[in-house]
Amino acid sequence: MVQDRSWFGRFFDIMNHTFLIGLSLLCIFPLLHVLAISFSSSLSVGEVFLWPVDFTTDAYKYVLDKPDFLKSVLVTIKRVLLGVPFNMLMVILLAYPLSKDSRAFPMRTLYAWFLVFTILFNGGLIPNYLAVRYTGLLDSVWALVLPSAVPVFNVLLLLNFFRNLPKELEEAALIDGAGHFATLIRVYLPLSLPALATITLFSTVNHWNAWFDGMIYMNSPLHFPLQTYLRTIVIELDFTSLGSEDVLNLMNSVSERTTRAAQIFLGALPILLVYPFLQRFFIKGIVLGSVKE
């Protein structure tokens, strides 16, 4: 009986690994296909599978040579550098008091339901636009940062993570004379690095990939973040500044599909480079932060 169970266990491990490897390949193949398209000429796009056909970098040159590209990159970098710390500050300051029980914070339940309500309902696009407009934020980076300053999902994630930490640590800190801010900074935050890394990744990806708010709140293309800018050049290929011969040569190597593939990797590359370093924190943080006692 023991031998049968051991054989079944080995068989299960083999099938499990085979399934996971196959699933991983299904996830990787589309990325490789899009990458191959971005390095192929427009006339050969239909022949591309996992390897470029008529290799060319014209699609990337077309995207990167635009004079407004570096400006959009700087706008996005500024947005990330301002937005992520602002998100983290608001999330931490909200999650810490809401992680207390009703005896320590009597209004906890009311504030918690207020936050959950904002997940289910919102004022809509027009009220949001009017709020940004009449506060004078249009065409500024703050229009991209302040409306999303409090990501409620991240608050709930960190809140549950805080609630799973041993209460004895907080009690010991309070007995030693530490206040709530000292307890938060010296006890809670050092123990919450996996959750904080996860939330930082969420906020970074959200700010880096966002394009719709840039299209709504920015009147000038000079203020577009990167994803909004890349969207415009994919939809509107502009050949007006080129001569007829240059246009013909460019159209032979650049098309909507090749430029779209190029912008996908230009937009995703920073996240792909950062994620492997945060992945070990990501899994632990999302699991521990989602468990509620």
**pLDDT tens sequence across 257-275:** 777 788 777 777 787 777 7
pTM more than 0.85: no
Residue 61's CB is within 10 A of a number of other CB atoms, namely: 14
pLDDT value of residue 84? 94
Considering only CA atoms, which of 84, 114, 109, 88 is closest in space to residue 97?
Answer: 109
Name residues of the chain where pLDDT drops below 70. Answer: 1-5, 233-256, 278-293
State residue 75's pLDDT score: 92
Tokens of 248: 């013909």
C-alpha–C-alpha distance, residues 256 and 236, integer Å: 9
